[in-house]
Amino acid sequence: SGSGSAAGEEPAEAIISRFQEYLRIDTAHPTPDYSAAVKFLLSQTLTLEKLRSQTLEFVPEKPLLLLEWRGSDPSLPSLLLNSHTDVVPSEPSKWLAPPLSASLDPSTGNILARGSQDMKCVGLQYLEAVRRLLARGFSPLRTVYLSFVPDEEVGGHDGAKLFSESEIFGQMNVGVVLDEGLASPGEEYRVFYGERCPWWTTIRATGPPGHGAKLYDGSAAENLARSLENVMRFRRSQLDRVKSGEVAEGEAISVNLVYLKAGTPTPTGFVMNLQPSEAEAGLDIRVPPNADTVALERRIAEEWAPTSRNMTFEFKEKASVNDKFGKPLITVADSSSPWWGLLKEAVKKAGGKLGKPEIFPASTDARFFRELGIPAFGFSPMANTPILLHDHNEFLNKDEYLKGIEVYESIIEAFASYNEHAKDSETRAEL
Ligand SMILES: CSCC[C@H](NC=O)C(=O)O
Ligand SMILES: [Zn+2]
Ligand SMILES: [Zn+2]
């Protein structure tokens, strides 16, 4: 093969410095340098002649890199390994070292960088695993695709969404997707079979304005505040269900107040003696796939934004909890799914252990693939690691990173070799 040395012989330092190089590319919002990321990733594939690459631009300046490793039977549904290239911004002054330095602490082996967990680790681990499989002459039965997509952190509309709706995507005949998960502080890896859907909602109240000294019924601020009392009561009831252990984090409905808007601004603050005629609040609501959405929508309309209190509401984002067949947007994760069985076994074979499948508490690009009815697992192989995505001092230990490459090597081998007809023919042979 063109990669030179065999997989096992490559020094860990070389693998780690490639990871650091990717982390140092500034793909932070609001001005992610996507072209630099794609250029770097392409440079990583130069020795991998079996990979065909394509740069897709569904939106100008937002390139998506698609790599294809053709299987020996391309008619079988393919495996898609998806990762996003963008990262969230950071506040460098609150970090131990600059977030783009990807500095490695020699005493701990921790690599500190924005994106070290979310999710440049995963993107490059896919590629490293493929590099090793190629080096040892593995030949996939199913085609394996790697997609490096832009804009996940700002909703995925110009990235994974357009990709999933594209003609190219249809031609790829994707049978199963791997996308991001979360770090796990314990020994077991976390794995996600669904996620909560964002319902970003604004509620608005109106009411008569008046002197700041006047007490009267039905001001906009009073109308909104009454709603917020209801919102907060509901929020506490959901949090209590999580705290008591009745449900896991991803199975409760979360609602958080993310902004408040009212009053008359002045150059130095706000007018203090005028009651506003309009008041608005922003709610980040996350809805688990099995939630009673009819009841929730009724609650929003009747308790949080009732017309009786002069209120209206609007969904800025309202992701569907169902796929295109009307089924909840979840991937089967039990013994009835061959992919689930393969995933569990492959992780075990690499010396790891999967925890119970969970609902991802936030959102990922996996929802666009699940919407098409394609099974998708959220999985980032980071055990013994505090959850630091979007946080200060995000880091990943170099040994966890290297271990994750072996885990993906095992998973890709298992998925790409899976022949669903083999079992049938064996059974037929027995009969
Ligand atoms: C609705 S798309 C937003 C995606 C974002 N993803 C990760 O943090 C999130 O807020 O969950
Ligand atoms: Zn992410
Ligand atoms: Zn993120």
Catalytic site residues?
86, 152
What ligand 1 atom has the least distance to the C-alpha of 286? 11
Query: Is pLDDT above 70 for 174?
Result: yes
What's the gap in Å between 195 CA and the centre of ligand 3? Answer: 14
pTM beyond 0.95: no
Query: Is pLDDT above 70 for 92?
Result: yes
Please check if 84 is assigned to a binding site. yes
Q: pLDDT per residue over 93-136, tens digit each?
A: 999 999 999 999 999 999 999 999 999 999 999 999 999 999 99
| Residue owning the nearest CA to atom 6 of ligand 1 | 363
Decide: 363 in ligand 1 pocket, CB within 6 A.
yes
What's the gap in Å between 198 CA and the centre of ligand 1? Answer: 8
ipTM surpasses cut 0.85? yes
pLDDT at 67: 98
| Residue owning the nearest CA to atom 2 of ligand 1 | 155
What's the gap in Å between 280 CA and the centre of ligand 2? Answer: 30
Conformation bin of residue 390: beta by default, left when phi > 0, alpha when psi is -120 to 50: left
Mean pLDDT of 370-393: 97
Mean pLDDT of 45-56: 93
- Report percent pLDDT > 70 for the chain: 96
pLDDT at 251: 96
Decide: 301 in ligand 1 pocket, CB within 6 A.
no
pLDDT at 77: 98
Around ion ligand 3, which residues have CB less than 5 A away? 118
